[in-house]
Amino acid sequence: MSTEATPGRDEPTVMHVRCPDRLPQELYRQVLEQLAELSPMVQALPPTAALVELKGALRYHGVDAHRLGEVLRIRTVSRLGVDVRVGIGPSITVAATASARIPKDGGVLTVAAGQVTDWLAPLPVEALHGIGPRQAEALHDYGIHSVGLLAAVPPATVQRLLGGKAGRQAVDRARGIDPRPVVPRALPAAATVRHTFPQQTLDGAEVRAALLDLVVRLGRLLRRRRQGARALTLVLKFAQGASWERTRRLPEASAHDEDLRTAAYQLMDAAGLQRGRLTGIAVKGEDLVDAGRVTQQISLDRAREARLVAEETMDRIRDRFGPDSIGPAAVFRRVS
């Protein structure tokens, strides 16, 4: 597939690259190396996608963005045996939406800045990058089936349907507005937080409090990195050097304390400690993805929405007064 609408040389141009599903990590790394040959501004989006800022690369290579996309495909196929889908546009949303419209056998689709509105308008709302299934369902129930209709609806209406932040973002992106930059980054494969007990412990309450503290620390670390975890691993260290380790996949990538806590408690219950004497505990967030790829689903659970708002507030308090300035009561009772 090759649809060309060449952007001007001087306008910011974003390339979104999608590799085949279940691509081995080593091949994915090699695709990123091919991207780095085109531009130094590469943002990895594991496990199989990436963003590239082409503004400087266009001047350096002396060709248009569409041609660079074709060059990338030729290189990945000939050197790695991997075909890719390349979407190019003036923003992350447009580029990512474009790459998703390309058939699985690969191709390049370029959308110029002046064509964004006309190109987006007829697409179904679920095709707009960042709109999840539940958000699309809520919009459909209101009679909004296309991106063009979403762009025409007053933002306040969409905010009532999807929530404040998600509603504003949906309308802006439907209108082609997305100021997010490409941030060069190779994301860590995992994030780990650990706790060592001062002495061997059988105390269930102390262990649970330590686990909760680790979950809060991990959640804050992921949010500060702007990442979400697709899986959580619990590692228990016992006396005489024995250990126990299990991993649980999350329903969807998340950096929220509530989601991480649920998975951590399920893992702890599965451990069946009984009389095991613990010396340490670790929690790992694994299969990390960039926060921009984490779908912000709407929720009919007002209590959960309130907890997420409280989480943002607590993060601001910790940023200002320190990480131990606020947290779950169980954790503070353990250290008091």
DSSP letter string over 287-298?
EEEEGGGS----
User: DSSP assignment, residue 78?
Assistant: I
Looking at the chain, the number of H-run helices and the number of E-run strands are: 13, 10
Question: Where are the alpha helices (H) located in 55-179, listed in sequence order?
Answer: 55-61, 65-75, 92-100, 116-120, 133-141, 147-152, 155-162, 164-174
- d(CA 50, CA 148) in angstroms, rounded, equals 27
State CA 74 to chain mean position distance: 28
> What's the whole-model pTM score?
0.59
Looking at residue 223, what is its pLDDT? 87
User: Which residues are CB-neighbours of 112 under 8 A, at least 6 positions away?
Assistant: 5, 6, 7, 8, 89, 90
Domains and CATH numbers, the chain: 2-174 (3.30.70.270), 190-335 (3.30.1490.100)
Amino acid at 141: D
The predicted structure's pLDDT at residue 187 = 59
Per-residue pLDDT of the chain (336 residues; tens, 9 = 90+): 444 444 454 455 899 999 998 888 778 888 998 998 899 899 998 889 999 999 888 888 888 999 999 999 999 999 999 999 999 999 999 999 999 999 988 899 999 999 999 999 999 999 999 998 989 999 999 999 999 999 999 999 999 999 888 999 999 999 999 999 998 876 566 788 999 998 888 767 888 899 999 999 999 988 887 888 989 999 999 887 788 889 999 988 899 999 999 999 999 988 877 667 899 999 999 888 877 655 555 555 677 777 777 788 888 887 777 777 777 766 655 544
The confidence score (pLDDT) of residue 294 equals: 59
Q: Is 18 helix (H, G, I), strand (E, B) or coil?
A: strand
Residue 190 host element (H or E): strand 190-201
Structure confidence at residue 9 (pLDDT): 46
pLDDT of residue 24: 83
Distances (CA, A) of 307 to 138, 230, 235, 264, 302: 22, 21, 27, 18, 9
Walk across the sheet containing 227-238 and list its strands. 190-201, 278-290, 227-238, 243-254
Structure tokens at 204: 């269930």
pLDDT score recorded for residue 317: 84
36 vs 88, 113, 122, CA distance in Å? 16, 24, 34
**pLDDT confidence of residue 1:** 46
pLDDT number for residue 324: 73
CB neighbour burial string for 17-50, b if at least 16 within 10 angstroms, e if fewer:
bbbbeebeeebbeebbebbeebbebbbbbbbbbb
DSSP character for 146? B
* Structure tokens, 239: 């006396």
Task: Please state, in angstroms and rounded to a whole number, the distance separating the CA atoms of residues 148 and 11.
Answer: 24
